[in-house]
Structure 1
Amino acid sequence: MEVIGMTYVFIGVIILLILIYFLCGLRIVPQNYVGLVETLGKYSRTVKAGLVFIWPIFQSLRKVSLALQPLEISKYRIITKDNAEITTSLTLNYLVTDAYKYFYNNTDSVESMVQLIRGHLRDIIGRMELNEALGSTSEINAQLSKAIGDLTDIYGIQVVRVNVDELLPSPEIQKAMDKQLTADREKTAAIARAEGEARNIELTTKAKNDALVATAKANAEAVKTQADADAYRIDKLQQALDKAGDGYFRNQSLDSFNQLAQGPNNLVVLDKDEITDLGKIPAAKKIWDQSKD
């Protein structure tokens, strides 16, 4: 009976050890991951997310994320076509498309990808002058995305987005650019002031000329109006004199002689035909004064 009992205990222990061994071989691959199963250090198969079994001791499981990964490439220096030094930094998003290539084709696929991107960026900016590079960030992003394209596929990686965050010239160049910018602004301000003063002089001169022209026109119009009025009065005077009878002028002549006789200079010599015309003078003056009123 003791032998049988020992046998059952032994079998039970064996079963327990097998169960423990089996349980130790269970692995869980999370969502959006894949597993690389290695047998005695050699790649065996790729398993998807879920519960998988591997043989403990003989096999191991490496988990590789397929999710989108952000990466920031620290600042580094690049020389432009005109030998100016600028500092740049990038950010990118990548994901693993082939876990086997990502893990086995390179000792560090991410670092290799970064070096590839840096090399292409140096080539792109190295063919540009400083001012062109500083003003062409969008174009540089487009060229960089096109350049790296499918090249990172050898690492099992796909770069979804790459962006040049900043391009900064060296401090010495930045100071020179600031001075140039200040000089350009001062030049623009001086030109604007000069143009403003010239425009002000132009407007003032034009206003004075317009005023002189308006005054001249007004004076000319006043003279013309006065001349028209005088002509009108003369015409009316002539009409009145033409309508007056000879008796009226004789009476006016007698009044004129009376006034001359009362004055200190009372000697008047006239032809007999001009005596009657003498009366037209006070009559004309009287009519002229009435026309003014």
Structure 2
Amino acid sequence: MTIITPIAIAIILVIITSIRQINQYEKGVKFTFGKFTAVMEPGWRIVWPVIQTYQKVDVRIKAVDVPDQNAITRDNVSVKVNAVIYYKVSDAPKSVIEVEGRPDPRDRRQGDGCVGIEGK
């Protein structure tokens, strides 16, 4: 009985610390020994310590304001273009495994796609 009690307490502690919550607006990407194994849907999920890791991905629609862009139309009129980019993660594992970094709202390169659109 004295040996069983500490072992039972250790097992209960491991189980309690392995429970993770995925919110309604998130999906979890689970890795076992560094290899992708599953997509975790919202709710309480088990991630075994040391063996498994996970990363949460927000799947809500996000808006990024692109800084104003100055452009010249074909008839040489100067215009200022403002844009907003809406995006959503549709494939959680692909966004974690194949995409490096996160979009930065202050990144000025987002507006480069507007060049050549005006005047058409």
Query: TM-score when scaled to structure 1?
Result: 0.35
Looking at structure 1, the residues matched to 2 and 72 of structure 2 have their Cα atoms a distance apart, in angstroms, of 77
TM-aligned CA deviation for residue 46 of structure 1: 0.6
* Displaced runs of 4 or more, over 6 A: none
The residue correspondences of 1:74-85 to structure 2 (distance < 5 A) are: 74-81=67-74
Q: After superposition, what is the alpha-carbon deviation per residue over 1:81-135, rounded to whole angstroms, capped at 9, x for unaligned?
A: 4666544321232221111222222113535xx888633311312xx2xxx8xxx
1:47 aligns with 2:40: yes
Residue type matched to 1:68 in 2? I
**Unmatched runs of 5 consecutive residues or more in structure 2:** none
Q: Is this contact kept in 1: 2:67–2:111, CA < 8 A? A: no
In the alignment, which of 12, 15, 25 is matched to residue 19 of structure 1?
12
The residue correspondences of 1:107-186 to structure 2 (distance < 5 A) are: 107-108=100-101, 110=103, 118-125=111-118, 128=119
SS of aligned partner of 2:116: helix
Looking at structure 1, the residues matched to 96 and 22 of structure 2 have their Cα atoms a distance apart, in angstroms, of 16
1:60 aligns with 2:60: no
- Number of equivalences: 118
Larger Rg: 1
| RMSD after superposition | 2.7
Residue type matched to 1:103 in 2? V
- Of all paired residues, the percent bearing the same amino acid is 21
Looking at structure 1, the residues matched to 75 and 33 of structure 2 have their Cα atoms a distance apart, in angstroms, of 56
Query: TM-score when scaled to structure 2?
Result: 0.78
